Amino acid sequence: MSKRVLFMGTPEIAAIIFEKLIAAKDELDIEIIGAVTQPDKPKGRGMEMKFSEVKEVALKNNIPVYQPVKVKEEEFIKVYEELAPELVIVAAFGQILPKRVLDLPKYGCINVHTSLLPMYRGAAPIQWAVIDGQKYSGVTIMYMNEGLDTGDIILQEKIELAADETGGSLYDKLAAMGGDVLIKAVAQIFAGRVNRIPQEGETCYAKMLNKELGHIDYKKSAVEIERLVRGLFPWPGTFSFINGKTLKIKKVRVVHNSELSVENSELKPGEIFNVTKKSFFVNTGDGALEITRLQLEGKKEMDTESFLRGYKIENGNMLE
């Protein structure tokens, strides 16, 4: 008899994983009895009510949808107990599961987490791996407990980050990888072949992203800033101010000392120098950056050469 599986998730990455699970339901011999996702929210300029990406996938596949404001509410707990899932799969759901929810399924509640746990527990592991200059990231499937991403590991697979990896490119890779690793883990669980590995060793917390995090501090090193720009691309993005206007910084390059035609040791952090018709450099706390793609407030994104045709930048101007 097919195992009764309940999926919990909300955003795009969860929807991608959910679609892979649905495609593998016959192979895994499972019945997906429902999708639990966050309530519909108003979005966009018109503030129209929008379904979560997981809800869209569920409706497309005729899977019942449940949208509790809080999963710990008694009303939802009753529904959950009636559903009687044998396995609960969670991916970027957005709520902490109470003990009553965790304890019910025969095969437990498992989570798809986009980091190599115990490193980068929390809300934004993908972007922080890039920002911190990690060489590897990956996907961990773990049993859930009452802690935050602290449960025993079922399966873990890793990938090496590219030199030009961005938060967006790593997101795409781990979203695709997450479904594949999940399917392997579910097969192991039902076959009774899981080797539970307690989380031990160094850990850190991947705090939630916000727009202010993208305000570049030029007192930091060029290497750190370049990683920040990549890690926060495409969202929330990085920015500076020039002459009182917001300048979104889309792409930068660390400048090697051999490329410097002027000595930058006397310059302030954030000071622009080496301005040509095609490019300009910015001094930092350690080293210099070339800004290669940018977007001035009220204008389109463009490469720096195009930008300099319509906006005057001079040596000594400051990015703040």
Residue 46's pLDDT band (boundaries 50, 70, 90)? confident
Q: How does the average pLDDT of the chain come out, rounded?
A: 95
What ranges do the domains of the chain cover?
Answer: 3-206, 211-310
Over 70: is that where the pLDDT of 216 sits? yes
Given this chain, do its domains 3-206 and 211-310 carry the same CATH topology?
no
User: What torsion, rounded to 10 degrees, do the Cα atoms 105, 109, 110, 112 define?
Assistant: 130
When pLDDT is averaged across residues 185-205 and rounded to a whole number, the result is 96
User: Is 182 buried (19+), middle (13-18) or exposed (0-12) by CB count in 10 A?
Assistant: buried
What pTM was computed for the model? 0.94
Q: Who's near 148: CB < 8 A, 6+ residues apart?
A: 96, 121, 122
- For 251-290, write each residue's pLDDT tens digit: 999 998 777 766 677 899 999 999 999 999 999 999 999 9
The two structure tokens encoding residue 317: 């101007």
In CATH terms, is domain 211-310 a member of 3.10.25.10?
Answer: yes
Tell which CATH classification among 3.90.1300.10, 3.30.70.360, 3.40.50.170, 3.65.10.10 matches the domain 3-206.
3.40.50.170
